[in-house]
Chain A
Amino acid sequence: MAETGHRPKKLCFVTIGATASFDSLISACLEPRFLEALAGTGYTHLVVQYGKEGKGLYDRAVSKSSRVKDLGISITGFDFNRNGLGQEMRAAKGESGGVEGVVISHAGSGSILDALRIDVPLVVVPNPNLLDNHQVELAEALEEQGYVVHGRLNDLSAAIAQSEELRKRHKQWPPVNSGQHRRARGLAGVMDEEMGFLD
């Protein structure tokens, strides 16, 4: 049925963020193997946010993927949106029609938090070129707790299958504080104490 009829829109949104370039993620998400994995999982659209310096690489990679048309995936790209990427993330969530897809993001905390709040399945790919690479720790910790898939650049297609599992498990952010933190007043409590509000 899916082969003959009109497939519902299913979007994969890839974002490399605003601050650093991330060529290896742009290349990885336009590799034939990855595009095949997308097509095999019912994806119809791929949107790539490639950053200020990524256009050349993106254009070359798209033109090289000659098999793209056979797979029936429409690929578009843009450099950056100063108003934030909420619109694209919600499109991946399926809010503008179609079914829920996936967001593949660099491991910047702003982008991760955005995606977690929009509640769309998320693959986090740390950038190996960053000097102080604490991003891997964050990706590992979040994967361990079951909120994201920790994507590897050398096998991004595996992350697509894993994200389908993530969709089924579906764990919502923010987590409800448990145990001793359940009734904690959090940062507001600390700020009250330091301000001198004792009520």
Chain B
Amino acid sequence: MPLQASTIALTLLILLIPLTTLRILSLLPAYRPRPRPKTRGTPTRLLIVLGSGGHTAEMFALLRDLDTEKHNWRSYVVGEGTGLALPRRTNGRLESEKAEQAYKQEGSHEAEEETQGYGGYDISTIRRARHIHQPLLLTPPTALRCLFACFSVLRGTRHGEREYPDLILTNGPGTGVVVVLASLILRFLGPGQDRMRTVYVESWARVKGLSLSGRLLVRVVDRFVVQWEGLEGVGGRGEFLGVLV
């Protein structure tokens, strides 16, 4: 009975629409369950997106007093392209400062404890979604490649195990938009849906209006932080926490 088969198929399709809608709604910050409670020392993974000069400088200012005992594994994502060498070096400096800090804090205890408190870090680079001057028609393949690169970075391979980040922190570079988009797609499909919470910090350079990245992400990230009082409550989300950089 070909008619019946097509009716079943149609019914399934119609059922799929509200289910998909519900699934998408469940990705939005208002409907997400609270993160699982953790105690100091629980293995965690923080993913930090680094962009070009200004964004990176701000990010390191934001992370000045990062608690490396709580955030004991840090994955840095760098967009491939111009300032690649600079973030690498700056990043190495930040991490060595953090290691030194951890060393000082824990004084003359066993070396093992020190390294435990400090944890570790990795750096990956992601290809650009679109090269400068690339024809628009040729963008889909490169954008797709970029997206797949994000999936593999998000999955992570720490100690050979797959491990989604608990938290993604970005402050405005274009790469951050792609990373957050990739995390949404993964959560839609299932993997890592109870992790990958997202915090967006709007650039300190934005005083009166949001950047393009900010406008794209304001509704989908779990927390949206602004750095000027005038932007408090922007998009119904903006949180002003005082000066951060």
- Contact A174–B36 (Cβ < 8 Å): no
**Given A137-B207, A187-B201: A195 in contact with B35 (beta carbons within 8 A):** yes
User: When the two chains form the complex, which single residue of A82, A141, A189, A195 contacts B44, counting CB atoms closer than 8 Å?
Assistant: A195
How many Å lie between the Cα of A191 and that of B54 in the bound state? 22
User: When the two chains form the complex, which single residue of A82, A107, A186 contacts B244, counting CB atoms closer than 8 Å?
Assistant: A186
Which of A4-12, A70-78, A108-116, A157-165 makes up part of the contact surface?
A108-116
Asked if A181 is at the interface (CB within 8 A of a chain B CB), the reply is yes
How many Å lie between the Cα of A110 and that of B83 in the bound state? 13
Minimal Cβ-Cβ distance residue in B for A174: B243
Contacts of A66 in B (CB 8 A): none
Which of B126-134, B139-147, B148-156, B220-228 makes up part of the contact surface?
B220-228
- Contact A195–B166 (Cβ < 8 Å): yes
Minimal Cβ-Cβ distance residue in A for B56: A110
**Given A108-B53, A114-B57, A190-B223: A199 in contact with B244 (beta carbons within 8 A):** no
How many Å lie between the Cα of A137 and that of B231 in the bound state? 13
Within 8 A of B (CB), among A181-199: 181, 184, 186-199
Minimal Cβ-Cβ distance residue in A for B240: A181
User: When the two chains form the complex, which single residue of A19, A109, A175 contacts B243, counting CB atoms closer than 8 Å?
Assistant: A175
Which 6 A-B pairs have CB atoms at the shortest separation, nearest pair first? A181-B242, A110-B57, A196-B35, A177-B242, A137-B207, A109-B205
Between A and B, 6 residue pairs with Cβ closer than 8 Å are: A109-B54, A110-B57, A113-B245, A135-B205, A188-B67, A195-B46
B interface residues (Cβ-Cβ under 8 A, vs A): 34-40, 44, 46, 52-54, 56-58, 61-62, 65-67, 70-71, 82-83, 85-86, 166-167, 169, 197, 199, 201, 203-209, 211, 222-223, 225, 228, 239-245
Taking A18-B53, A187-B241 as known contacts, 6 extra A-B pairs with beta carbons closer than 8 A to each other, sorted by chain A number, are A19-B52, A19-B53, A141-B207, A184-B242, A186-B244, A195-B70
